[in-house]
């Protein structure tokens, strides 16, 4: 790929697209495009592309950070210019096969960061598509190492991982709220009891003990740091990460009627599967 490796394009400049740009712009030349020009106009240290096609032509690595409902339109626009590029998708619930079907034999890495990526303490899971090689995976991992911890998993485990680390910040907030705890001063025993329950729930949706422990601990620590650094209350952050109809909302329907964390995480994984496009 030569020097083009250093040119990264980001399509979609919402919370996660802008967080990625902010964290990587000192290491890479970053091009961005969002159809809402107001989102990109005041952002320093990045280059603005005219449209999706213009961006794709300027870079070798494209990060798709658009909402799932805008995905089809973006794939259609870039289809003819995508040969030999690496596509990294952070769109929730969209499998690599769905992208490969629409773009041809393109190299795709699917990633799922969580909200703490915005402060460089995120938990990002990565899965390799059918046509991507290990070098592509390493490239994607190096990129997302700028946003916190990373874990490579089989794509079949992406729904459980979404239920654990994607929705995880909301469970941590619920733990703090329900016990009236201050994020700056959490009793060690209460923290350990919660982490034990959370790890069992993660193993309950199919993650092995090592993966579960890593996802749970990183998600917990990142969430606490995020609350402290952003000066947010747990209820404010919980609302921020709960999308209508999403995995977190599904988990909280269970918790709000008195269900266990294990049952809530299982429901979130089921909801992630229901929302998936194959």
- Per-domain boundaries in the chain: 2-152, 160-275
What's this model's pTM, rounded to 2 decimal places?
0.93
- Residue 275 — pLDDT band, cuts 50, 70, 90? confident
Dihedral in degrees, nearest 10, Cα atoms 263, 267, 273, 274: 150
Give the model confidence (pLDDT) of 122-160 as tens digits: 999 999 999 999 999 999 999 999 999 999 999 999 999
Is 88 within 8 Å of 61 (Cβ atoms)?
yes
Give the model confidence (pLDDT) of 41-97 as tens digits: 888 899 999 999 999 999 999 999 998 788 899 999 889 889 889 999 998 889 999
Tell me, what's the pLDDT at 256?
96
Q: Mean pLDDT lowest for which of 77-81, 108-112, 259-263?
A: 77-81
Distances (CA, A) of 105 to 84, 102, 109, 132, 162: 9, 9, 13, 9, 26
Tell me, what's the pLDDT at 278?
59
Is 198 within 8 Å of 93 (Cβ atoms)?
no
The span from the CA of 278 to the CA of 273, in Å, is 10
Q: Which class in CATH covers the domain with range 2-152?
A: alpha beta
The span from the CA of 233 to the CA of 176, in Å, is 10
- Residue 5 — pLDDT band, cuts 50, 70, 90? low
Tell me, what's the pLDDT at 68?
79
The span from the CA of 149 to the CA of 130, in Å, is 24
- Residue 2 — pLDDT band, cuts 50, 70, 90? very low
Task: Give the residue, 3 or 119, on which the prediction is more confident.
Answer: 119
């Amino acid at each position: 790929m030569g020097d083009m490796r250093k040119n990264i394009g980001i399509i979609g400049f919402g919370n996660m697209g802008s967080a990625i740009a902010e964290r990587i712009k000192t290491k890479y030349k970053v091009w961005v495009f969002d159809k809402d020009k107001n989102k990109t106009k005041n952002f320093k240290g990045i280059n603005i592309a005219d449209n999706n096609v213009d961006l794709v032509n300027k870079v070798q690595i494209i990060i798709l950070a658009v909402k799932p409902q805008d995905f089809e339109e973006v794939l259609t626009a870039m289809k003819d210019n995508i040969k030999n590029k690496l596509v990294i998708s952070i769109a929730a619930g969209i499998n690599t096969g769905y992208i490969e079907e629409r773009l041809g034999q393109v190299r795709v890495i699917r990633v799922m960061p969580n909200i703490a990526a915005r402060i460089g303490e995120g938990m990002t899971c990565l899965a390799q598509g059918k046509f991507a090689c290990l070098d592509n995976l390493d490239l994607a991992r190096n990129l997302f190492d700028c946003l916190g911890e990373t874990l490579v998993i089989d794509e079949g485990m992406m729904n459980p991982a979404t239920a654990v680390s994607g929705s995880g910040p909301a469970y941590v907030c619920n733990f703090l709220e329900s016990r009236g705890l201050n994020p700056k001063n959490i009793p060690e025993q209460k923290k350990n009891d919660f982490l034990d329950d959370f790890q069992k729930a993660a193993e309950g949706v199919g993650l092995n003990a090592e993966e579960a422990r890593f996802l749970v601990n990183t998600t917990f620590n990142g969430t606490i740091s995020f609350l402290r650094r952003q000066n947010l209350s747990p209820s404010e952050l919980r609302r921020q990460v709960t999308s209508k109809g999403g995995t977190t909302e599904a988990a909280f329907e269970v918790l709000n009627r008195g269900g266990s964390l294990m049952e809530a995480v299982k429901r979130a994984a089921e909801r992630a599967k229901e929302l998936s496009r194959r």
